[in-house]
Structure formats: structure tokens, C-alpha cells
Amino acid sequence: MDCLFCKIVNKDIPSFKIYEDNIVLALLDINPKSNGHTLIIPKKHFTDFTELDSETLLHINMVAKNIVTLLEQKLNATGFCINTNYLDTQDIKHYHLHIVPVSKSKIKDVEEIYNIIKK
């Protein structure tokens, strides 16, 4: 399969991973809309929301709650926009949840944000 996210899950491509378990991987977006812009991707390939099983969907949302708490604590985010890919709205056809912190601070280098979060 020629899916970018599957390659990241398989560790063929490096990422700024901030959480991982046997079902999902959470990583910083390399083209962030704001500091801490995070993607949660299931390790199993699902094209979009309509293909997810209930267990995976629930798990992704539980992880999202924990990531939001982490970003609030580490980056002082004041709010969040959370959205998903659906059909033709994303270039990568592998389900993913975007967590985009609301912040007035200037966007910093992804590696710098990664180091702040991982402290």
C-alpha cells in the first residue's frame, strides 16, 4: 500500500510521535495550522470515518481527550478545533483526527513544539 500514514505507522517514515498504543498513533502535523496541531491515526488502515468500527472510534476519541489535556498543560492552549478527514476533503486517504489548538502565539518549528510537549 502506498499510504503515507501506513508508512509512518510501520516506521518507514519518521514522525514527531507524542502518543502510541496498539490501536493508534498520535503525531504532530508537519504543516501545522497552530502550535501543537496533532493528528491521531489508527494503525489499521481505514479510508475515512464511514469505515471505522465502533471500538476504534471510541478509542480514538478517548485518546483525543488525553491529547487535549496534554496540549492544554504544555502549550497553554485556550481551545481546540477537532475535525476528521472525510471522502475528498483530505489528500491522505487514511482516517485521521485533527486536533488544532487555538492559540495567538506565532507558529514555531515542529521540533521545538515536540520538545516542549515531551518534557
- Catalytic sites, residue numbers: 96
Residue in the structure block whose three cell numbers are 483530505 = 90
Which three cell numbers, joined as nine digits, stand for 101? Answer: 489548538
Q: Give dist(CA 25, CA 20) in Å, integer.
A: 4
Q: Tell me which residue of 16, 33, 18 sits closest to 82, measured CA to CA.
A: 33
